[in-house]
Amino acid sequence: MSIESADNILHVKNSTMRISRVEVGQTLSVGNIEFENTTTLTSVTSNGNNTTPYTISSSNVTTGLATTANVVVGGDLVVSGNATVSSNLTVAGNVSLTGTGSIVVPVGTTAQRPATSLSGMVRFNTTVNKLEFYNGTMWMGVGGISATGGTVTDVGGYRIHTFTTSGTFTVSTGGEMDYLVVAGGGGGGENVGGGGGAGGMLTGTVASVAIDSYTITIGAGGAGGAPGPGNDGNDSSFGTLINATGGGGGGTGDGSGRDGGSGGGAAAATGTAGSAGSGTSGQGNNGGSGTSNAGTYSAGGGGGAGSVGGNGVQGGAPGSGGIGLTSSITGTSTYYAGGGGGASIGTISQGGSGGGGNGGRQSGGVAATAGTTNTGGGGGGGGNNGANGGDGIVIIRYLL
């Protein structure tokens, strides 16, 4: 063993120094003690005089403090260098990170989330490439929701999922979402038939969409009467959260329009005209009534999401389709759910804004037109056969 002393520094080299007892009659002053071999820290005990008792100080630039066991800190934890804990770290006080580097949180897939989730947990999810946290109910992405399905576009800070055919919307990280759900439009009635009612239209916000897979159903438009009244449109839905009712079919002969999301228009023929179909509250409006006067029959238009269908005018024009409503969920203001126009002997009618088809004319054989697909528009009432309603649509968006 070699002991050197110079400039108040004690060097112990290449050996072990064991001291069982040291007696100093006068004052012992030691500046620095330098150990060139590895030392093991077995305990830290306060001598009662330190200004910062129980303090461990390390200047190792690579690893300041490393442990494979659990660490429990009853007070505050301040880290200005590196601290690596491969087990659990529990801090009862505050945690202060004073460096300019970074903190590495747990990393894993969706399937590797903790079996027992606690409020405040934070991790990086490699399945969706997002930082996420547990809010006590569900895992949520920091800065946005994670989901797949439909045609995906990003507009104005939103991610938009558009479904024009039925499919699955899979939510990996839940949260608040806006929606537009439009059902299929009703078909128009044949001959001097009523216009088909628009599919029900629902729009709004779900405050908390949970992690799950949701079946998206796009309601098909109802077939036009050929012969007979128009068929009802089919419902559209966003899982079990939102369901819009298909539009009512237009009447034929002296028949009434059918009830639906919006009601079908009444037909007009040789007898008393039928009554208009009723719409569903909050989704659409009633259809229009028809008139019967020898040689001048005029049917009612189908109801739209924004207004009732027009009434047929005795001796005059048939009722136009009720107008739809606009939605800007895609970033562009667009009309949806317009009603189909009614038919007459000698005059055509217009479908409502939002994809409603035009009504036909018996004289000269002008055919009715179908509701526009993926708008939920009602089909026009036929001068001969009624026209088909348009298919519905589902659109979901959320902030990125």
pLDDT truncated to tens, each residue of the chain (400 aa)?
Answer: 555 555 655 555 555 556 555 565 666 565 555 555 555 555 555 555 555 555 566 556 566 666 667 767 777 677 666 667 666 777 777 777 777 778 888 999 888 889 888 888 889 888 767 787 887 877 776 766 889 999 999 998 899 999 999 999 999 889 999 999 999 999 999 989 999 999 999 999 999 999 999 999 999 999 999 999 999 999 999 999 999 999 999 999 878 999 999 999 999 876 666 899 999 999 999 999 998 776 678 999 999 999 999 999 887 799 999 999 999 999 999 999 999 999 998 888 999 999 999 999 987 789 999 999 999 999 999 989 999 999 999 999 998 8
Q: State the pTM of this model.
A: 0.71
The answer to whether residues 136 and 123 touch, using CB atoms and an 8 Å cutoff, is: no
Among 235, 246, 242, 233, residue whose Cα is nearest residue 180: 242
Beta bridge partners of 209: 175
Among 209, 203, 229, 75, residue whose Cα is nearest residue 149: 209
pLDDT at residue 276, rounded to an integer: 96
Phi, psi of 112 (to 5 degrees): -95, 10
Angle at the Cα of 340 from the Cα atoms of 269 and 249, rounded to 5 degrees: 65
Q: Which residues touch 132 (CB under 8 Å, ≥6 apart)? A: 122, 123, 124, 125, 139, 140, 141, 142, 173
pLDDT at residue 183, rounded to an integer: 99
pLDDT at residue 56, rounded to an integer: 61
Question: Pairing relation of β-strands 325-327 and 158-163?
Answer: unpaired
Q: What is the 3-state secondary structure (H, E, C) of 144-170?
A: CCEEECCEEEEECCEEEEEECCCEEEE
pLDDT at residue 55, rounded to an integer: 59
Q: How far apart are CA 248 and CA 308, in angstroms?
A: 13
pLDDT at residue 253, rounded to an integer: 82
pLDDT at residue 395, rounded to an integer: 98
Q: How far apart are CA 166 and CA 16, in angstroms?
A: 78
Q: How far apart are CA 244 and CA 234, in angstroms?
A: 9
The answer to whether residues 366 and 383 touch, using CB atoms and an 8 Å cutoff, is: yes
User: Amino acid letter at 300?
Assistant: G
Q: How far is CA 202 from CA 5, 89, 152, 228, 259, in A?
A: 87, 49, 21, 29, 17
